[in-house]
Amino acid sequence: MADQKKTVSADSSNPMQTLINLWPYMWPAERFDLKMRVVWASVFLVLSKLILITVPYFFKWATDALDGSSDMAGLLPAFLLSAVMLVAAYNVARIVQWGLNQLRDALFASVGQYAVRRLAHLTFVHIHQLSLRFHLERKTGGLSRVIERGTKGIETIVRFTILNSIPTVLEFLLTALVFWWGYGFSYLAITAFTVWAYIWFTIRASDWRIGIRRQMNDSDTDANTKAIDSLLNFETVKYFGNEDMEARRYDASMERYEKAATQVWTSLGWLNFGQGVIFAIGMMVMLILSALAVQRGEQTIGDFVFVNAMLLQLSVPLNFIGFVYREIRQGLTDIEQMFDLLNVDAEIKDAPDAKPLAIGQGAIVFDNVHFSYDPERPILKGVSFTVPAGKTVAVVGPSGAGKSTISRLLYRFYDVQKGSITIDGQDVRAITQKSLRSAIGMVPQDTVLFNDTIAYNIRYGRVGASDAEVDAAAEVAQISRFIRELPHGFKTMVGERGLKLSGGEKQRVAIARTVLKAPPILILDEATSALDTTTEQEIQAALDIVSKNRTTLVIAHRLSTVVGADEIIVLKGGEIAERGTHAGLLEQNGLYASMWNRQREATQAEERLRQVRESDDLGVVVRLPPAS
- Does pLDDT of 7 surpass 50? no
Residue 446, Cα to own-chain centre: how many angstroms?
24
CATH class of 358-439+521-618: alpha beta
Q: Is 451 left (phi over 0), alpha (psi -120 to 50) or beta?
A: beta
User: Looking at the DSSP assignment, which residues form a beta bridge with residue 394?
Assistant: 554, 568
Query: Crossing angle of helices 32-66/301-342, nearest 10°?
Result: 160
Residue 95 to residues 55, 99, 101, 482, 596, Cα–Cα distance (Å):
10, 6, 10, 67, 87
Distance CA 526, CA 241 (A): 30
- Does pLDDT of 551 surpass 50? yes
Q: Nearest-CA neighbor of 137 among 341, 375, 380? A: 341
Phi/psi of residue 441, each to 5°? Answer: -110, 140
- Does pLDDT of 268 surpass 60? yes
**Which tens digits make up the pLDDT trace of 110-120?**
887 887 788 77
- Does pLDDT of 322 surpass 80? no
Q: Is 589 left (phi over 0), alpha (psi -120 to 50) or beta?
A: left
Helices and strands, counts by H and E, the chain: 19, 10
Cβ within 8 Å of residue 70, ≥6 positions away: 61, 64, 81, 302
Higher pLDDT, 458 or 115: 458
- Does pLDDT of 618 surpass 50? no
Q: Nearest-CA neighbor of 446 among 600, 596, 572, 557? A: 557
Distance CA 128, CA 219 (A): 26
Quote the mean pLDDT of the chain. Answer: 79
Average pLDDT over residues 311-330: 73
Average pLDDT over residues 563-590: 90
Helix (H) or strand (E) holding 368, with range, is strand 364-374
pLDDT attached to residue 426: 92
- Does pLDDT of 80 surpass 50? yes
pLDDT attached to residue 137: 63
Distance CA 498, CA 235 (A): 13
> Across the beta sheet with 377-387, what order do the strands follow?
377-387, 364-374, 418-423, 426-427
User: Looking at the DSSP assignment, which residues form a beta bridge with residue 161?
Assistant: none
pLDDT attached to residue 449: 84
Distance CA 170, CA 53 (A): 11
- Does pLDDT of 283 surpass 80? yes
Average pLDDT over residues 164-172: 75
Fold of 8-342: ABC transporter transmembrane region fold (1.20.1560)
Q: Nearest-CA neighbor of 342 among 25, 13, 14, 108? A: 25
In the chain, which residues fall in CATH 1.20.1560.10? 8-342
**CA-angle at 600, arms to 594 and 606, nearest 5°:** 140
Q: Is 8 left (phi over 0), alpha (psi -120 to 50) or beta?
A: beta
- Type of residue numbered 425: G
In the chain, which residues fall in CATH 3.40.50.300? 358-439+521-618, 443-518
Highest-pLDDT range among 310-324, 327-341, 443-457, 601-615: 443-457
User: Looking at the DSSP assignment, which residues form a beta bridge with residue 393?
Assistant: 553, 567
Distance CA 162, CA 159 (A): 6
CATH class of 443-518: alpha beta
SS3 category, 344: coil
CA gyration radius, the chain: 36
Average pLDDT over residues 600-628: 59
pLDDT attached to residue 27: 77
**Which tens digits make up the pLDDT trace of 30-46?**
788 888 888 888 888 88
SS3 category, 421: strand
382: how many CB neighbours lie within 10 A of its CB? Answer: 15
Instruction: Check: CB of residue 225 under 8 Å from CB of residue 145.
Output: yes
**Which tens digits make up the pLDDT trace of 215-252?**
787 788 788 888 887 887 776 787 677 888 888 888 88
10: how many CB neighbours lie within 10 A of its CB? Answer: 26
Phi/psi of residue 453, each to 5°? Answer: -80, 165
